[in-house]
Structure 1
């Protein structure tokens, strides 16, 4: 035991001598060659918002994935780098002057920082780039596109999007088509429509699952996979009044894709629906008549995911009943619908030919005289949309009545008073509006929905 104990003591003494020798030698110091930036950040923007920066060590680039607001240029022209973690020291500029964090820098353009390792030899140069939005993300921007070659005749028409094509039907045998794969331009081509009866209700067209569906006043239902040739659907003897909307599949509830509509049964209108993978139609339980104020014409639909993660299809349209407000309706299965009424004073005023969309995180309602857009968080309480989310407008200046009175400035919607329209939204979030009065076509999109996802 004593021998083992003495050997342990001897080992410790030898290690101590070795360590002392290293400490006493000026030739054995080994300084770090680490010349990397471990962390980077700038001062807060706006109301104390801190933007996270990504460090790409391979490319030696530092940048923010989430772009700063469009107005941030007026802040980052003189801002502090408040986080810069390195092992050695940092220089900047052509003269390689020592970088001092307490000095503000101009980050409107990329800058370069050079990191020097403690070994006095190793260096790495990083490019710092601060991304700033060039457009206001919350602005709805409109552009007038190529008008239809011939102004449509009086009466309602319908526009629909199918497989990257925008179709505008002017009758049961004629229409126009343009590709929207390049939304910057429209090139209209006349089309000859086949298979549609003369009593086809153009304003009943529903685009769903790469097909168009339509009904007739005589109760027939038809579909098309190319927008030009139409075929009859088997409705098991049901007389179809109109299609309402398509309901997408929902992973939460396990439901499949469903086509919804209204059919006539024993002298009353009832809700009906079918799984598009099945042949049979279903009627609502009890075969109860639809509510008197449920829309029957010019129906527009949108899809909203509620707080439980369940998809709801929401619609508005023209109703035969006299109503005091424009009220949306929603469903999850197409057979049971409920209105989205509100007990408050924040209902949406009555609109002629309303359309609805869940767009940019809010519900929006367009239509009526097209003077303002109404918005809602969950489709119940409605208010005038944000100033940036408006129709295209022109500036109207009214002089004061007297010399001392200031002039008043207003913005008047260019859509106001244009009359009947049809609206469609494509997969790139462009809103397409075609006007019946003059055949003009407008395209709009919320800026942030066009930003590329980093």
Structure 2
């Protein structure tokens, strides 16, 4: 009887032990996370939608598309998912409660312990963020002097047919120089017709300008020009813009100032409307832009009117004949009473470089508008001009086909005409996804 009882209890013990062993064998030995995300954090915009890749071979977790440059990553809370759960998570050797924030300013070592309490996997978790400010403009000086010409009176330039073309006024001659990189320039060549260089403008597949004799002229290379209007009845003054497949030009006729349209297809010039006394069209800063809907729009920023009176304003037009002053109060003109500034459209924003005050004091600062010229603010330090450029007015400015900004020459604070060449590159245009 005793022998049978011992056998019975021994059998019970074996069954219990086997049950415990089976229970332990059922515990997962998989410590690897199946998915990773990071909780929403106002200091790291869109971090919650950032995709993190888990590499079980190299035991790494990282994001290939870097998060924003200004994001703070020193207080982030990751969220891990597991196929069968884990027993414990250690952050840099310390047990983590899954709710405390973690400093990801440098790579973090995370150890996952499986449910079996034996199997572990140690991952390096790195949150990649841009180390270069995407909104900053990086400036490079391409040339100290683009020309050896002396006694220059005025200069202007534009981007046309994959190259920069500069027009230099010297006496009764207009010289033309070209470059595709800003460093090397062709030898100065005299144009066959002297120009008012400040009037040059690209219209369709040609360059338009006004000659010294106040005729409207056109060229396909900037050197050889042909006269569109030879009549002395109209004395053309300036070309405002190219819109609606027409060029829009200001001219005098019988002592009245009109806006004319020029249709290059029909080769016709049409008198459209008289010019308002409030519209600046002399020594004015001009820029072409696009609205949010992709509609072309022209902007005229501060200049002089037909009475040669300074007008401090921002006028815009989508038609060329009808212009609206988008800033009606001078007090709202945050960039102040300045003329001879350089207006540029870049990255869906208007930039205004330098210029001079009403007292003819040159300026170095840069102003920016993100709403098509309605409001302006001083640009952040990452978009300001290099100190080496100094305070200048009448700088040549344009954006090439690769979205590179060019600033050339201008007049310094001492009244000297400069001929250096600078290129500015918005960093974001060179960003690529990180692997």
TM-score by length of 2: 0.70
Change (3 A) 1:323 1:166: same
More deviation in 56-65 or 133-142? 56-65
Following superposition, the deviation at residue 206 of structure 1 comes to 0.9
Query: Given the alignment of the two structures, is residue 423 of structure 1 paired with residue 404 of structure 2, yes or no?
Result: no
C-alpha distance in structure 1 between counterparts of 2:61 and 2:426, whole Å? 30
Q: Deviations over 1:274-327 (max 9, x none)?
A: 455x3244535xx43212343333444323444666442112363253546521
Q: Deviations over 1:192-247 (max 9, x none)?
A: 244x313x1111111344532211132333333334x3232545968443322223
Query: Given the alignment of the two structures, is residue 374 of structure 1 paired with residue 354 of structure 2, yes or no?
Result: no
Change (3 A) 1:345 1:111: same
Matched residue, 2:409: 434
Matched residue, 1:230: 224
List gaps (5 residues or longer) in structure 2: 1-21, 357-361, 412-416
Matched residue, 1:391: 385
C-alpha distance in structure 1 between counterparts of 2:319 and 2:267, whole Å? 15
Following superposition, the deviation at residue 449 of structure 1 comes to 4.9
Paired residue for 2:132, among 117, 131, 135? 135
Query: Given the alignment of the two structures, is residue 65 of structure 1 paired with residue 65 of structure 2, yes or no?
Result: yes
Matched residue, 1:145: 142
The answer as to whether partners of 2:33 and 2:83 remain within 8 angstroms in 1 is yes
C-alpha distance in structure 2 between counterparts of 1:189 and 1:303, whole Å? 28
The answer as to whether partners of 1:92 and 1:113 remain within 8 angstroms in 2 is yes
Following superposition, the deviation at residue 113 of structure 1 comes to 7.7
C-alpha distance in structure 2 between counterparts of 1:52 and 1:152, whole Å? 59
Query: Given the alignment of the two structures, is residue 211 of structure 1 paired with residue 211 of structure 2, yes or no?
Result: no
Matched residue, 1:409: none
C-alpha distance in structure 2 between counterparts of 1:349 and 1:116, whole Å? 65
Following superposition, the deviation at residue 387 of structure 1 comes to 4.2
Change (3 A) 1:152 1:425: farther
Matched residue, 1:353: 340
Paired residue for 1:302, among 283, 287, 291? 287
Q: Deviations over 1:27-72 (max 9, x none)?
A: xx9x9999773452256262776452125689997526363225x5
1:395-414 maps to which residues of 2 (within 5 A)?
Answer: 414=389
Query: Given the alignment of the two structures, is residue 241 of structure 1 paired with residue 237 of structure 2, yes or no?
Result: yes
C-alpha distance in structure 2 between counterparts of 1:272 and 1:130, whole Å? 58
* Greater strand share, structure number: 2
The answer as to whether partners of 1:424 and 1:432 remain within 8 angstroms in 2 is yes
C-alpha distance in structure 2 between counterparts of 1:330 and 1:290, whole Å? 14
C-alpha distance in structure 2 between counterparts of 1:160 and 1:219, whole Å? 21
The answer as to whether partners of 1:342 and 1:380 remain within 8 angstroms in 2 is no
Secondary structure in 2 aligned to 1:203?
strand
C-alpha distance in structure 1 between counterparts of 2:111 and 2:149, whole Å? 64
Change (3 A) 1:34 1:272: farther
The answer as to whether partners of 1:222 and 1:230 remain within 8 angstroms in 2 is no
Query: Given the alignment of the two structures, is residue 188 of structure 1 paired with residue 165 of structure 2, yes or no?
Result: no
TM-score by length of 1: 0.67
C-alpha distance in structure 1 between counterparts of 2:93 and 2:114, whole Å? 14
C-alpha distance in structure 2 between counterparts of 1:210 and 1:81, whole Å? 56
C-alpha distance in structure 2 between counterparts of 1:162 and 1:124, whole Å? 60
The answer as to whether partners of 1:424 and 1:433 remain within 8 angstroms in 2 is no
C-alpha distance in structure 1 between counterparts of 2:319 and 2:230, whole Å? 20
Following superposition, the deviation at residue 381 of structure 1 comes to 4.2
What is the CA RMSD across the aligned residues, in angstroms? 4.5
List gaps (5 residues or longer) in structure 1: 1-25, 248-255, 395-413
1:332-351 maps to which residues of 2 (within 5 A)?
Answer: 332-343=318-329, 345-347=331-333, 348-351=335-338
Change (3 A) 1:173 1:393: closer
Secondary structure in 1 aligned to 2:277?
coil
C-alpha distance in structure 1 between counterparts of 2:179 and 2:217, whole Å? 22
Following superposition, the deviation at residue 446 of structure 1 comes to 4.1
C-alpha distance in structure 2 between counterparts of 1:201 and 1:326, whole Å? 23
Matched residue, 2:38: 41
The answer as to whether partners of 2:301 and 2:314 remain within 8 angstroms in 1 is yes
Query: Given the alignment of the two structures, is residue 363 of structure 1 paired with residue 350 of structure 2, yes or no?
Result: yes
Secondary structure in 2 aligned to 1:288?
strand
Query: Given the alignment of the two structures, is residue 166 of structure 1 paired with residue 164 of structure 2, yes or no?
Result: yes
